[in-house]
Amino acid sequence: MRKFKSKKQKKRGTRTIGYGKVGQHRKTGQRAGRGKTTQLKKSMKSYYLKQMRLGFPDPDWILGKKGFNRPQDMNRIYHVNTINVKDLDLKLENLTQKNNATKSGNIYTINLDKLNIQKILGRGEINKKVNVSVKKASNRAIEKIEAAGGKVTLISKAG
C-alpha cells in the first residue's frame, strides 16, 4: 500500500494541478481543435490568410458552418411517388387481382392516388387500354396511354 499521496492527488483542488498555465495538459485545449474548425480563423489567422493568398483552400475547404439541413419531415412533404408507363403495364394484372384496379372487357380502370402514386411518367411502352386517374402526368405518358386507347384523368388538389 502506498504510504504517501500521489502528486495528482496532492494537487486536487488547485487551479492548474501542477501544469503551469491554465489550459495546459489537454488534448486540443490550446490549439484550435482538429481539422477545419471555425477556431482556425481566430487562433491561426495569419496562417489561414497566407494559405488563402497562395490559393490553397479550394472551394470545398470551407471553414465553419455553411447553410442548414432541412428537417427530414419537411423533405418528405415535397416527395413525389412516381410510376412509369411500362411498370403500370406490367403491374395491371396483379393490381386487378388485389382489387386495386378494375377490368371491364379489355379496358382497365385504376386510381393511382389510392396507391399513393402522385405522378405517372412516360418511360416504356403500354399495350393495354387503361383509364388512369392521377394527380400529375407527363406529356409523354398522356400521349402513350391515349395512343394505346386509354384515357388519363387529372385529379385536382381540392377534390
Q: Where are the domains of the chain?
A: 39-68, 82-154
pLDDT of residue 158 exceeding 80, the answer is no
pLDDT of residue 159 exceeding 60, the answer is no
More confident residue, 17 or 83: 83
Which of 26, 32, 30 shows the shortest CA–CA distance to 47?
Answer: 32
**In this structure, how many other beta carbons lie within 10 angstroms of the beta carbon of residue 130?**
22
Annotation: CATH topology of 82-154: Ribosomal Protein L15; Chain: K; domain 2 (3.100.10)
pLDDT of residue 36 exceeding 60, the answer is no
What is the H or E stretch that residue 80 is in? none
Mean pLDDT of the chain: 83
